[in-house]
Amino acid sequence: MATLTAAKPLDRFSYVTFDVVGTLIDFEGAITGALQKIAADAGTTVDGEAALAVYRNARYQPDALRYPDDMGRCYGQIAVATGLPDTPENRQFMIDAVGKAQPFPDSVAAMARLKARYKLIAMTNARRWAFEKYQEKLGHPFWASFTTDDTGTEKPDPAFFQQVFDFMGRDGGSKHDILHTAQSQYHDIGISRKLGMTNAWIQRRHAQKGYGGTIEPAEFTEPDYHFHSLMELAEAADKTFDK
């Protein structure tokens, strides 16, 4: 499934910026898989979607830390809600689990195809230590990368994006040369629209209800490009360039 509503064709962009966690890396699968392991060890079960809702709400809170370090604090709230044992060991296990989260099945191949067409830039709310693990699993596709350790802030703060714009300016580019690609309406699609960027929404949860572990936006933003997978974007780009 692909919806192409943007006036600007895909072969007119020089850069593709990416949200990483949730777009390229399956952090929800890492969370629910780790919780199932803790539950099995405790002789019980856990509802993964219900746990993701607790995680999502915990990430709204003002005392939230940087990802994935915040997973320990979030697990404490999940444990209260689900009856799982809240121990220091389980909190660290959750931090380690999301730090080791795997790419979605199409991510590596799609990124390799996109790398042949564009300069790829990571814009992630993950800390640098976690991003480096993700980058290795993705096959090192990025031309440049920005983490919360680099920017000192998190998306959707416009200051995060401005640092990327400034960097690209030194390369001779501008925000109008970017296709911003992400699954998060809250962190990426809404703010990229407000900043005048062209965006591509990768709707990873198209077959599921709700926002899972991602913070719910105050309002939905209609994207310029809408895909159900990253490979759909790569295929659409190939078709546009090969015309």
Q: What is the pTM (predicted TM-score) of this model?
A: 0.94
- Give me the catalytic one of 11, 19, 149, 150: 19
In this prediction, residue 242 carries a pLDDT of: 84
In this prediction, residue 60 carries a pLDDT of: 87
Question: Residues of the chain with pLDDT > 70: what percent?
Answer: 97
Give me the mean pLDDT over the 224-234 stretch: 97
pLDDT at 1 > cutoff 70:
no
pLDDT at 7 > cutoff 80:
no
Quick one: DSSP state of residue 200?
E
Q: Is 86 a catalytic site residue?
A: no
pLDDT at 42 > cutoff 80:
yes
> How would you label 182-221 residue by residue, b for 16+ Cβ within 10 Å and e otherwise?
bbbbbbbbbbbbebebbbbbbbbeeeeeebbbbbebeeeb
